[in-house]
Structure 1
């Protein structure tokens, strides 16, 4: 039973400005595109767009879906603008929590404070008897009270683990844990049960669909107990409902375990590249740099793994015929992994993935262009902490901060994501950031304005680019015959609205394989 979608503008994303009058869909696939006159005799029903605007389904190419669901479940402190406000917000929850409970806050950004300082361990301990964990917005740093530190067996005598930092002042704990050190707590919190994971996942999927997203590339398999737990949650919440398409990266610590499960993929749940963290983030000054931080001359960040260990991980992925996706933010981190990729290339036709790729120069851009590598970048990163990053990196080096146009100009495949829960997973906000390189409401010409792209190029990041980066460019990312009937339908035309209004456009409905999975205004 074929359905004709018509009654609004339909952008194919095959080329700039290309539209069609109607789309014929059957059994979740696009059968044909063309005029209403030619296609309506083939349709058993009509889905009228009521003047809305249809695009290929938007996909977030990098986020942590269960982690985003956790943010929806816990205390969101992303809007907190002072230490006192943070402590007050935490006190509200801590005063009602038992000594056995875990209180979790997510999204802290001290750069929004007049004085960018963290609470002391004593101040955290004074809030109450429950375990307390505060995750910084970058998720590469947490604050933990003494109760949470003791749970993990962390004392002033505990050495920092490889690839992480247990922060101390005069030999005493501060409560700050960076990168690998934070996993001593967050990967072992006892409230992470199958029911907890499923609830977080269900909340996340519903929210993502409301933003017009039909799918996402996520990395969740090493944070929630054995990988079988999050996989089972995805089977139960995502695959069974067939209303969202998830591409799962596999953290290197569980990669071989997951591979040996011999799991079957489906259109709604598939297993992709090995995921490796190469370095940290600018916020905690743990992104690995070739030269020290301008505001911390004794520190150039850190590589989480040695070159030898990274090579072994890449070779393990190659042994199983798999690609590698790397979190690499600093220029040293990017340079290091590109050299390893060059010495250990993937199979013909495969693409490795550099996630974030946040600090480049011409030499790094040339090396990227010479390799079978795609870039998975987050346009919103240029909004959040650019001024703080400028002070850390200096004006000259920051010219290579958060590239986009220069990547596309080199012919690289680039996909767009949010890294939620770090940023809000609204693709319209990402599109706005890619086009303007500024925060909503600002009037300047853009941070590193030479990296701005057109609206078409920005939308392409979330459609064609998101498909290309996983080798599905012939079945997803466009509105064309033979492609999946995944649509994002908006109430206004994002190519023509006033730019400051673009992030406020409302989603009419979200469609996966021809089925409306989120509906605001779109009626049959």
Structure 2
């Protein structure tokens, strides 16, 4: 049966610089059939479901353009210590979780370690004392972890010498070595990836998100493990749209699966390459050293290796998505891309692009590039002054500059590192970063549809587009309404309600 949405504030997001409104939408089989400004023409039509918005606001649903969906599911189930402020509480939490969780051979993973808070509270020896079995205390950045002695002994027993060699003298493991260890730990567990995906999707749709670009295929054993879990979720009728970024370690193997998939619900996307580390671990690769040190960070791949990786990806007619945080790392990526363009009509992606000066921005602007930005990361700038200094802070998380240079961008969370609460991010964009509300909403709708090559079907309310909507309690474009007071009432995907606020 067709559906008629009416009697609300319906914003199409179909125009670049102003808020076009319509009075009604007609949906047929999950697709917008008509929009218009006189819904009374349907008064005498019987075979149509009338959905009275009762003054609420309807806009296109949101797309999160960079997320780790399975990781979000894990975080929703795990203990997180990010808000723990005392050593006594930290000890109690780890001890209790270890006591409850402990099974022979099973690894305990606790998340949320933050250097500024927890470095003085816990070290390798204390984690070894407080936790019974092999334990990973994962940093909030999800790029490193602290191991206890039981974890190290477990690796020794299993002769995992390569992993052991990458653990430093303080019990930490970083970046690509951490990812390798994490994959090994997950392979030893009984993790149900399908359940984690379902948990994460439930969280996303409660925030008005109908589509995500997620990167999970290289962290859970064989790449078919997460892929089969996604197929399982979708085959059971879950309405949710997925763009899968493919880690460079597995993209050649994934190709044969990709060729067999012709499904609008799941699409394979760009090839993900990690270029450098993080600010928190001082492993993001910088032009100038970190404040008070001789350390510039590090590249995960040397320049020659990286260039060959990009050339190989181009031979497979693929685009690249680079995790790039430091300005020197960005300089190297741009130098390679300037000589290795994607085919016409395609673009590469810069994920994070966290430290970027005007010279680098001018180079980005000349290339077919879209930036995946995480607006809430800008909140960290005050802390980053301590390691970057005042001179670089204006170029740190400088998303207003990316916008002002008219570089294509889309907003995202990098969940579970950041929050998938889109309205909270929009509030921050409009408050602290002084964006207007249209720009902020556009960054999660129109812009994100371009990133995912779905601009002809998502992100706008137009005939022929998918019936993916979010209904909000109030008019998000009304400046007199505080964004913090606005709630997601309902999320609709393919014309079906997938979330309704209780």
Structure 1 partner of 2:450 = 468
Picking from 264, 269, 293, the partner of 2:266 is 269
Residues 92-101 or 209-218, more deviating: 92-101
Cα offsets for 1:39-61 (capped at 9, x unmatched): 55666111222322111010111
Aligned partners of 2:381 and 2:199: how far apart in 1? Answer: 30
User: Does the 8 A contact of 1:152 with 1:185 survive in 2?
Assistant: no
Aligned partners of 2:104 and 2:357: how far apart in 1? Answer: 51
TM-score normalised by length of structure 1: 0.90
The count of residues paired between Structure 1 and Structure 2 equals 495
User: Does the 8 A contact of 1:110 with 1:118 survive in 2?
Assistant: no
Aligned partners of 2:353 and 2:44: how far apart in 1? Answer: 49
User: Does the 8 A contact of 1:510 with 1:518 survive in 2?
Assistant: yes
User: Does the 8 A contact of 2:25 with 2:36 survive in 1?
Assistant: yes
Alignment map for 1:110-509 (pairs within 5 Å): 110-112=115-117, 116-117=119-120, 119-153=122-156, 166-168=167-169, 174-190=170-186, 196-261=192-257, 262-295=259-292, 297-383=293-379, 385-437=380-432, 452-496=434-478, 501-509=482-490
Aligned partners of 1:504 and 1:336: how far apart in 2? Answer: 44
Aligned partners of 2:171 and 2:417: how far apart in 1? Answer: 21
Structure 2: give runs of 5+ residues left out of the alignment.
none
Structure 1: give runs of 5+ residues left out of the alignment.
169-173, 438-448
Structure 1 partner of 2:496 = 515
Q: 1:366 to 1:118 in 2, by over 3 A?
A: farther
Pick the structure with more helix per residue: 2
Task: Provide the secondary structure at the position in 1 that maps to 2:171.
Answer: strand
Task: Provide the secondary structure at the position in 2 that maps to 1:270.
Answer: strand
Cα offsets for 1:224-264 (capped at 9, x unmatched): 01010100000011354241101000000011110133340
TM superposition shift of 1:158: 6.6
Q: 1:292 to 1:118 in 2, by over 3 A?
A: farther
User: Does the 8 A contact of 1:98 with 1:129 survive in 2?
Assistant: no
Aligned partners of 1:82 and 1:435: how far apart in 2? Answer: 34
Cα offsets for 1:367-400 (capped at 9, x unmatched): 11000000001011012x2222111111111110
Task: Provide the secondary structure at the position in 1 that maps to 2:497.
Answer: strand
TM-score normalised by length of structure 2: 0.93
Aligned partners of 2:192 and 2:457: how far apart in 1? Answer: 34
Task: Provide the secondary structure at the position in 2 that maps to 1:125.
Answer: helix
Alignment map for 1:17-28 (pairs within 5 Å): 17-28=19-30
User: Does the 8 A contact of 1:2 with 1:27 survive in 2?
Assistant: yes
TM superposition shift of 1:517: 0.6
- 2:56 equivalent to 1:61: no
Aligned partners of 2:290 and 2:161: how far apart in 1? Answer: 27
TM superposition shift of 1:38: 4.0
Cα offsets for 1:161-206 (capped at 9, x unmatched): 9xx96322xxxxx121111221242111156667621111111111
Task: Provide the secondary structure at the position in 1 that maps to 2:311.
Answer: helix
Cα offsets for 1:449-477 (capped at 9, x unmatched): 5xx42111111111011101122212111
Picking from 18, 26, 35, the partner of 1:33 is 35
Residues 43-52 or 263-272, more deviating: 43-52
Aligned partners of 2:233 and 2:245: how far apart in 1? Answer: 18
Q: 1:175 to 1:315 in 2, by over 3 A?
A: same
Q: 1:111 to 1:213 in 2, by over 3 A?
A: same
- 2:11 equivalent to 1:6: no
Task: Provide the secondary structure at the position in 2 that maps to 1:492.
Answer: coil
User: Does the 8 A contact of 2:25 with 2:34 survive in 1?
Assistant: yes
User: Does the 8 A contact of 2:277 with 2:284 survive in 1?
Assistant: yes
Q: 1:41 to 1:289 in 2, by over 3 A?
A: farther
Q: 1:24 to 1:101 in 2, by over 3 A?
A: same
User: Does the 8 A contact of 1:4 with 1:40 survive in 2?
Assistant: no
Residues 226-235 or 408-417, more deviating: 408-417
Picking from 92, 97, 115, the partner of 2:96 is 92
